[in-house]
Amino acid sequence: MNADLISPEPRALIVEDEILIAEELSERLSRLGFAVIAAVDTGEEGIAIATRERPDLVLMDIRLKGEKDGIQAAKDIRQQVDVPIVYVTAYSDRRTVDRAKGTEYDGYLLKPFHRRELESTIEVAMKRHAVRTKEKETAGGGTAEGPTSPS
């Protein structure tokens, strides 16, 4: 990973209802130099923590416990704070991808994933977010958002 990703230690939030997968993600993120602030299994908790803590990265499963699924949670989070969101899901059917496309996110990772897929997806997501932040700054705090799909 890039040096600018590692220092200062970026903070990540994991929203995933499969605890073992959450553990793996948490382990892998720590090895990538992230501080995992929490791993939760409902959309509601995810929204609460993401808006309160403003992490540098959110890994979001689509199927979750609780009322809200990952796509709704991502939408809610991005309405309030601009954080890079990466979907980590086993869903690859058209309907889900279409629904996800309706939200703003920075990466889509299919389960099961490889270490390198996770790394490159997170890297791309963080870069996209950085570019977006820079654009906003140069645009004088304008509200223009970049495209939602990685290009």
Partner 1 sequence: MDTARARAVLGRTPGLEYREKLGRPAAFCSLSSKQRLCLAIFLERRPMSTPTITPRLLEPFRSAKRQLYAIGIVSALAIGSLIVWPRLSERLLSTDFLPHRYCYLSNPALVWTHVTADLLIGIAYFAISITMAYLVYQGRRDLPFRGLLTAFGLFIIACGATHLVEVVTIWVPVYVLSAAVKVFTAIVSLVTAVVLPFTVPQTLALVQQAKTSAQVTAELRASEERKDALLQEVHHRVKNNLAVICSLFYLQSTHTKDKETVQIFRDMERRVHSMALVHESLSESENVGRIDFAEYASDLVHDILSSHGGPNVQVQLKTKLERVIMSVDSAVLCGLILNELISNALKHAFPDGAGGQVRVTLHSGPEGKCRLCVEDSGVGIPAALDFEASKSMGMRLVRSLTRQIRGSFELLKVDRGTTACLHFTVDRHER
Which residues are near partner 1 by CB under 8 A? Answer: 18, 20-21, 23-24, 27-28, 63, 86, 90-95, 97, 107-117, 120-121, 124, 149-151
Least Å from the CB of residue 67 to partner 1: 19
Q: What is the 3-state secondary structure (H, E, C) of the chain?
A: CCHHHHCCCCEEEEECCCHHHHHHHHHHHHHCCCEEEEEECEHHHHHHHHHHHCCCEEEECCCCECCCCHHHHHHHHHHHCCCCEEEEECCCCHHHHHHHHCCCCCEEEECCCCHHHHHHHHHHHHHHHHHHHHHHHHCCCCCCCCCCCCC
Least Å from the CB of residue 72 to partner 1: 18
Least Å from the CB of residue 8 to partner 1: 25
Q: Which is nearer to partner 1, 81 or 90 (CB)?
A: 90
Q: Which is nearer to partner 1, 19 or 139 (CB)?
A: 19
Least Å from the CB of residue 140 to partner 1: 29
